[in-house]
Chains A and B, each alone.
Chain A
Amino acid sequence: GDSVTQMEGPVTLSEEAFLTINCTYTATGYPSLFWYVQYPGEGLQLLLKATKADDKGSNKGFEATYRKETTSFHLEKGSVQVSDSAVYFCALRDYKLSFGAGTTVTVRA
Chain B
Amino acid sequence: IAGITQAPTSQILAAGRRMTLRCTQDMRHNAMYWYRQDLGLGLRLIHYSNTAGTTGKGEVPDGYSVSRANTDDFPLTLASAVPSQTSVYFCASSTDLKTEAFFGQGTRLTVV
Q: Which of A32, A42, A102 has the most CB of B within 10 A?
A: A102
Bound form: Cα–Cα A25–B85 in Å? 28
Given A95-B97, A96-B48, A97-B33: A44 in contact with B41 (beta carbons within 8 A): no
| Count of chain A to chain B residue pairs whose CB atoms are closer than 8 Å in the complex | 51
Query: How many residues of chain B have a CB within 8 Å of chain A?
Result: 23
Q: Binary interface profile of A, 92-109, with partner B (CB < 8 Å = 1, else 0)?
A: 010111111110000000
- Which of the four size classes fits the interface of chain A? 20 to 34
Beta-carbon contact of A43 and B100 below 8 Å: no
In chain A, positions 4-41 with a C-beta closer than 8 Å to chain B are 32, 34, 36
A46: CB under 8 A from chain B? yes
Q: How far is the CB of A68 from chain B (nearest CB, A)?
A: 17
Cβ–Cβ contact A46 & B48, under 8 A:
no
Interface residues of A (CB under 8 A from B): 32, 34, 36, 42-46, 49, 51, 89, 93, 95-102
Residues of B within 8 A of A (CB): 33, 35, 40-45, 48, 58, 90, 92, 94, 97-106
Closest CB pairs A-B (n = 4): A101-B42, A43-B103, A99-B43, A44-B103
